[in-house]
Each structure stands twice: as structure tokens, then as C-alpha cells.
Amino acid sequence: MADIEHPQIYLITPPDFELSSFPDRLAAVLDINTVACVRLALASMDEDRVARAADALREVTHARDIALTVTSHVQLVERLGLDGVHLLDGARAVRKTRKTLGADAIVGAYCGNSRHDGMTAGEAGADYVSFGPVGISGLGSGAIAEADLFSWWSEMIELPVVAEGALNADLIRSLTPVTDFFGIGEEIWAADDPAAALKQLIAAMA
């Protein structure tokens, strides 16, 4: 069941960023906020670009004892010394990925707003499932992961759950009792001071 007091922060990188400056921006955020895990979520399919970004961010996160996962790129996890992978296709690849990466790697599955996909992912060996977007977003199908999905999950399922996508302070306040993690990314990176922006969102949990 979710920790009623304090969900943890699962920080998500922007889909694109300048490698010359972003690691310092990330470090500034991590130095004033408590973050459980960082997800490298580049949209790029350029393996070299993803690898260089992963190397740079791993130095920042591992120096602070924070895990670093990558979206989708299962084959890069071991090669680059990352802590795990975030899969975008629900439960479909979880079992195979777990077999590939072994028991110690983090394997997470994004399941949209599908309770069934979430349960299937858990049975296949996922360490967490994420549902979203929880706020109104122009991305994807426009379908929202409603609060009652998280309420049901926190009561019935022990597997940790992440709420992500188009979050704001009001949504964070309302979902705090029923989620284990908030996946926060674009919500802060557009701000002049991302560290302060995250601090404000974390304050909404109180």
C-alpha cells in the first residue's frame, strides 16, 4: 500500500536537452530535493546520443546514490552501468526484459490507464507500474488515468505505482494518499529554476 505521508519523486528528464548544460541543471535539482530515481527519457533513437547522455547523467546520479533508469533501451542498461529500464508498452516486454537484465535490475512498465495491463505487468515481474497522464494532456490518446484507478490500486495491489503526466500541485495533493511515486519531468524543466519548481510540487504533498 502507498505510504500515506510521502510518495517519492521519480524524476524524468526532458525528451531532448543540451548535454553541455543539463547535467549541471539536474545536479542543482538533486542537491536541494530528495529524489528516489532519475529516468533518462530522451526521444532520440540515436544510440550514441543516448549513451553519451547516460554516461553524463550516471556520474551525477550515482555520486548522490540515486538510481538511473532509461526509457525503452534494454540493451544499453548493462553496457552503460544503468540501474534499469522503463518500458512503454505495458506488460508486453516485461517478462523477456526481466530475463535479459536479471533479478537486480529495475524493470518498470508504463500502462496508460489500464488496470489489466498493470496487473499483468506485475505478474510478469515488473518492479513498478506507472499510470498516466493524470492531468489533461494533448499527447497520446487523451485518455486520463483517473484518481479512482490509483485508489483501487493502493488498496488491492502491493506493487508500487507511479502517477505521472501533466501533474500540478492540485493533482499531487489529491493523489498523495494513493500513489507511491510521482513521475515529474516537463512540469519543472520549463521553469527558470527547476529545483525550486520541484520543491513547490513536493510541498503540495504536505
Nearest partner of 132 among 122, 118, 146, 119, judged by Cα: 146
pTM score above 0.85: yes
Could you give all domains of the chain from N- to C-terminal order, each with its CATH number? Answer: 8-72+129-203 (3.20.20.70)
How far apart (Å, rounded) are the C-alpha atoms in residues 150 and 153?
A: 5
Model confidence band, residue 117 (pLDDT cutoffs 50, 70, 90):
very high
Residues 12/184, Cβ–Cβ less than 8 Å: yes
**Cell numbers representing residue 138 in the block:** 494533448
CA distance 148 to 37: 25
Give percent of the chain above pLDDT 90.
93
Rounded Cα–Cα distance for residues 87 and 62 (Å): 22
- Residue 2 is predicted with a pLDDT of 43
Mean per-residue pLDDT for 134-142? 79
- Whether residue 140 is predicted with pLDDT greater than 80 in this model: the reply is no
Q: What percentage of residues in the chain have a pLDDT greater than 70?
A: 96
Residue 95: φ, ψ to 5°:
-60, -45
Q: Is 5 exposed, middle or buried (0-12, 13-18, 19+ CB in 10 A)?
A: exposed
Angle ∠(35,73,195) on CA atoms, nearest 5: 25
Q: Is 57 exposed, middle or buried (0-12, 13-18, 19+ CB in 10 A)?
A: buried
List Cα–Cα distances, 119 to 4, 126, 176, in angstroms: 22, 10, 21
Give the pLDDT score at 31.
98
Is a pLDDT exceeding 80 seen at residue 190?
Answer: yes
pLDDT at 5: 64
Nearest to 180 by CA among 37, 29, 32, 31: 37
Q: For residue 178, what is the DSSP state?
A: G
Quote the pLDDT of residue 14: 98
Residue 139 confidence (pLDDT): 64
Q: Which helix (H) or strand (E) holds 45?
A: none
Query: What is the DSSP secondary structure assignment for residue 92, as one 8-state letter?
Result: T
95 alpha-carbon distance from chain centroid: 19
How far CA 60 is from CA of 38, 124, 166, in Å, comes to 10, 31, 26
